[in-house]
Structures are given as C-alpha cells and as structure tokens.
C-alpha cells in the first residue's frame, strides 16, 4: 500500500514506551532484560490494540544490542503482531559538551540498527540530559535545562553533524525526523524550519511535537502559528496535549498532561491541516503521568476519527 492510500484504519499509529519502567524491580534494565520481560511488554502493547511501537533508547538501545538479541527482540514483537516502527534517540545531542563525537557515533550506529531491523523512521533531536533541577522536579519541563547557545558557529556545527546523520539515514533508506524541543535550535517554529533548510536534505524533516512547547511555564508562541509554520516540513509526529492556563498579566503559567481531545491544541484542526499539506508519516502517541499506556490507547482511537476515510 502506498502512503497516498493511507486511511483512518491503516494509518500507522505507534505507542511510546513511557508506560514501561526502564529498570525493573530486580534492578535489571529493560535493555538487558530476559526474553520473558520483553514478551510481557509486547503482550501488553498488543492487548491495548497497538500494532506499532516506537523504541525509545531510554529503554532499549538497538545500537547496543548484540545481533542475537536484536533478532530475539524482532521475533518476540512479531509473535504479538507488533512492528517496531521507529527508534527515537533522545538526550544524546551532537552538541553535548564532552560527548559530541560519542553521541554522533552512537547515532550512526542507531541508524544502521534501525535499517537492519526494518524500521521506518530514525528520530532524534538536540535536547540534552536532564539538569539536576529537572531530575528533582515533579514535571521536568518546569525546571531549567540546557540552552543551545546563540552562536552562529555552534549552530553551523549542529547543521553539519545533523546533515551527516541525515545523509547516512538517506543511504540506509530512512527518513530522519528532528523533534522540536525548547531552548534548542529546534525550540521555535521559525528556528526549526530554518534548520531544516540549512541541512538541505529531502529525507530530513520535523517532528512537530508542539506539546513540548505548550507545556512550558512561560510565554509561548501561539500553537496555531507554530503548526502552520512547521507542518509543511513534518515527516513523523509525536502527538500529546496539555491543559494550559496563564494569568492575563503574564505573572504565572501552568500546565498538566491531558488527552489529545481535551488539551489546548485542537488536533481536529491541525491533523486535518497536516493531511491536506501532504503529511503521510507515522504518528506516535505520547503521554506523561498516570496510565500512560491507557491514555495513549484512548488518544489513538480519537486520532483515527480525525483521519481520512476511504
């Protein structure tokens, strides 16, 4: 089936891994867990009606799995009718001080692993590891973290390294999606779009995760304008929503996670707009707090009502 023929029933909608603990009660990381634990994870994904999963490298690092374990992971997923549709490399920026080359090499290895495992998207960004304040906060986005410097040379370095990764992804047959994230060169709509132009590769697009910006406890761009600017460049999409409130005088801001239907962003509007603009990439259901997996399933069902019918 070509991407042009995607419908509400066939559009790939994946679930995130936030609902699974990266380290088990026994202290064993999910990455290193025995097959039984992987089996339980995919069984739960399938029981919720998902047939696609995004592998987050906070939980499992395909690049660091031995070939036999990669094969084992694929086999278990297939047994449950689940495809690992994408891999998301997070908080391993190619600009992280002291780790730039290590992170770049790791991203290259992840592209190779994603291609070997038959994934459809390589997703990454420029966000850094949590600051100590973010690790202590109830919601990490309420505390200060890394800021990409307002420096032309550093931005040019980011462009060069991301272009290198994008070129590799293209050679591997993969699109590369760059996730929007505050205080990075992907932190505003205009800066993110300009970065795509600077990279200049047709397989490199945006993951217009405007939810990352709507949740901030500070002034933000209008969500409608951000989507209008970024959706023409979207090739993969993390979707989530937040209830947001702010004082009229700008003295306070607050947000909390909620469902796609109830939050500030009107997904009925922006999904319609994206499809009209030619978006045909996979969606990724993402949710923080509470029953993340359950909310992702609810959001998936809602999203399908917004997508084209045959």
Instruction: Classify 244 as helix, strand or coil.
Output: strand
pLDDT tens, position by position, 26-68: 999 999 999 999 999 999 999 999 999 999 999 999 999 999 9
| C-alpha dist (Å) from residue 92 to 28, 68, 99, 259 | 22, 25, 8, 28
Is the pLDDT reported for residue 294 higher than 70? yes
Phi-psi group of 20: left, alpha or beta (phi > 0 → left; psi -120 to 50 → alpha; rest → beta): beta
Is the pLDDT reported for residue 169 higher than 90? yes
Domain extent listing, the chain:
3-304
Q: Which pLDDT belongs to residue 210?
A: 98
Is the pLDDT reported for residue 146 higher than 90? yes
Q: Which pLDDT belongs to residue 2?
A: 44
Q: Which two tokens stand for residue 6?
A: 């995607």
Q: Which pLDDT belongs to residue 1?
A: 35
pLDDT tens, position by position, 211-227: 999 999 999 999 999 99
Q: Which whole number is the average pLDDT over 265-291? A: 97
Position 308 confidence tier, pLDDT thresholds 50, 70, 90: very high
How far apart CA 86 and CA 120 sit, in angstroms, is 6
Q: Which whole number is the average pLDDT over 172-191? A: 98
Q: Which two tokens stand for residue 266?
A: 């009107």
What does the chain come to in residues? 310
The residue that leads in pLDDT, 131 or 5, is 131
Q: Which whole number is the average pLDDT over 278-287? A: 97
Q: Which whole number is the average pLDDT over 168-190? A: 98
How far apart CA 206 and CA 195 sit, in angstroms, is 10
Strand ordering across the sheet containing 283-285: 204-207, 176-179, 121-124, 83-88, 52-56, 13-15, 283-285, 237-239
The reported pTM is 0.95
Q: Which whole number is the average pLDDT over 183-197? A: 98
Q: Which pLDDT belongs to residue 5?
A: 86
Q: Which pLDDT belongs to residue 100?
A: 94
Please check whether residue 129 is in contact with residue 96, taking contact to mean a CB–CB distance below 8 angstroms. yes
Please check whether residue 113 is in contact with residue 74, taking contact to mean a CB–CB distance below 8 angstroms. no
Task: Calculate what percentage of the chain has a pLDDT beyond 90.
Answer: 98
Q: Which pLDDT belongs to residue 4?
A: 57
Tell me the CATH architecture of domain 3-304.
Alpha-Beta Barrel (3.20)
């Amino acid at each position: 089936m070509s991407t042009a023929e995607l419908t509400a029933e066939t559009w790939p909608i994946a679930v995130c891994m936030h609902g699974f603990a990266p380290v088990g009660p026994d202290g064993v990381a999910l990455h290193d867990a025995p097959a039984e634990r992987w089996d339980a994870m995919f069984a739960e994904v399938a029981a919720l009606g998902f047939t696609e999963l995004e592998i987050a490298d906070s939980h499992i690092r395909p690049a660091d799995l031995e070939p036999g374990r990669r094969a084992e992971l694929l086999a278990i997923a297939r047994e449950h009718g689940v495809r690992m549709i994408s891999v998301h490399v997070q908080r391993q920026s190619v600009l992280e001080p002291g780790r730039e080359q290590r992170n770049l090499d790791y991203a290259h290895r992840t592209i190779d692993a994603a291609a070997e495992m038959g994934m459809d998207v390589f997703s990454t960004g420029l966000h850094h590891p949590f600051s100590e304040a973010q690790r202590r906060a109830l919601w990490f986005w309420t505390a200060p973290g890394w800021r990409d410097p307002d420096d032309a040379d550093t931005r040019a370095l980011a462009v060069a390294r991301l272009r290198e990764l994008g070129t590799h992804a293209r050679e591997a047959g993969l699109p590369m999606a760059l996730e929007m994230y505050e205080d990075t060169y992907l932190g505003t709509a205009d800066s993110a779009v300009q970065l795509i132009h600077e990279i200049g590769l047709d397989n490199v697009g945006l993951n217009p995760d405007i939810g990352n910006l709507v949740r901030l406890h500070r002034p933000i761009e209008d969500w409608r304008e951000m989507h209008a600017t970024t959706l023409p460049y979207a090739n993969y999409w993390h979707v989530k929503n937040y209830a947001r409130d702010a004082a009229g005088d700008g003295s306070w801001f607050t947000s909390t996670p909620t469902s796609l239907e109830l939050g500030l962003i009107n997904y009925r509007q922006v999904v319609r707009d994206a499809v009209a603009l030619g978006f045909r990439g996979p969606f990724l259901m993402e949710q923080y707090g509470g029953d993340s997996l359950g909310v992702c399933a609810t959001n998936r069902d809602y999203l399908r009502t917004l997508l084209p019918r045959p």
